[in-house]
Amino acid sequence: MVSKQMQEALNEQIRHEINSAYLYLAMSMHSSSVGLQGFAVWLRVQWQEELGHAMKLAEILHDRGGRVTLQAVEKPPSEFKSPTEIFQQVLAHEQKVTALINKLYEAALKENDYATQVEVQWFIKEQIEEEKNAGTILEQLRMAGESGAPLMMIDRALAARAAK
């Protein structure tokens, strides 16, 4: 059985994951509206991943006899200056999520909740990948600039994520 404190912490992380999904959906919609379909696809896949993370946390909570209590989500921005700005925000956001996941793990350690510790380790590994991917794309954008053939090449490469 999950403790009340751990249930609250897991519900809070579910909210953060849904907020992440909502942010990536907004970024995807913006990218689509400015003709960057590859960016839109990549961000839409990210939206789906974040919803999957929320569901994984919900299943952990249910499996442990807890109850999911959905909370309000934040309204994301709808306009972004550039693809580089989007990926600066993606990287910063993933770093924030990493800190939240680490905090969740620390709470499980504090409560000697070994089952939650094991489950949260998956998210810790996932965040390494999330930060790496966002950082790589951001570096490519910084090298390529904001327009022209290099940007279109990155856009095309990002579109391939849908095929995976």
Could you tell me the two tokens for 64?
């442990």
Q: Is 24 left (phi over 0), alpha (psi -120 to 50) or beta?
A: alpha
Domain range annotation of the chain: 4-163
Phi, psi of 149 (to 5 degrees): -60, -40
Per-residue pLDDT tens digits for 70-121: 999 999 999 999 999 999 999 999 999 999 999 999 999 999 999 999 999 9
- The pLDDT > 90 percentage for the chain reads 95
Tell whether the model's pLDDT for residue 7 goes beyond 80: yes
Q: What is the pLDDT of residues 28-71, one digit of tens each?
A: 999 999 999 999 999 999 999 999 999 999 999 999 999 999 99
Q: What is the pLDDT of residue 120?
A: 98
Distance between CA atoms of residues 26 and 79, nearest Å: 8
The CATH number given to 4-163 is 1.20.1260.10
What is the C-alpha separation between 153 and 83, in angstroms, rounded?
13
CA–CA gap between residue 23 and residue 89 (Å, rounded):
10
pLDDT of residue 145: 86
pLDDT at 163 over 60: no
Question: What gap in Å lies between CA 71 and CA 111, rounded to an integer?
Answer: 24
Question: Quick one: pLDDT at residue 132?
Answer: 98
